[in-house]
Amino acid sequence: MKDLNGKVALVTGAASGIGLETSRLLASYGAQVVMSDINAEALADSGALGCPGARTIVHDVSSEDDWRKVFAFIEAEYGHLDILVNNAGIMRPEPFEQAKLETLRLQNRINVESVYIGMHGALPLMKKALAQGRLSTSIVNVSSVYGMVAGSAFSAYSATKGAVRALTKAVALELAGSGVRVNCILPGPAATNLSASWEPPRDADGNLLSAEEALAPWVSLIPVGRIGMADDMAPVIAFLASDMAKFITGAEFVADGGYTAQ
Would you name the residues annotated as active-site residues? 157
Partner residues linked to 149 by β-bridges: none
DSSP tag of 177: T
- CB of 27 closer than 8 Å to CB of 100: no
b/e map of 182-207 (b: 16 or more CB within 10 Å)?
bbbbbbbbbebbbeeeeeeeeeeeee
Instruction: Please report, for residues 15, 39, 63, 239, the alpha-carbon distance to residue 48 in angstroms, rounded to integers and kept in the order given.
Output: 11, 15, 27, 25
CA neighbor of 7 nearest in space, from 85, 59, 60, 119: 85
What is the residue-wise DSSP string for 26-82? HHHTT-EEEEEES-HHHH--TTTTT-TT-EEEE--TT-HHHHHHHHHHHHHHTS--S
How far, in Å, CA of 241 to CA of 3, rounded? Answer: 10
User: Terminal CA-to-CA distance of the chain, rounded, Å?
Assistant: 33
What angle is formed at CA 85 by the lines to CA 196 and CA 163, rounded to 5 degrees? Answer: 75
Note whether 229 and 122 are within 8 A (CB).
no
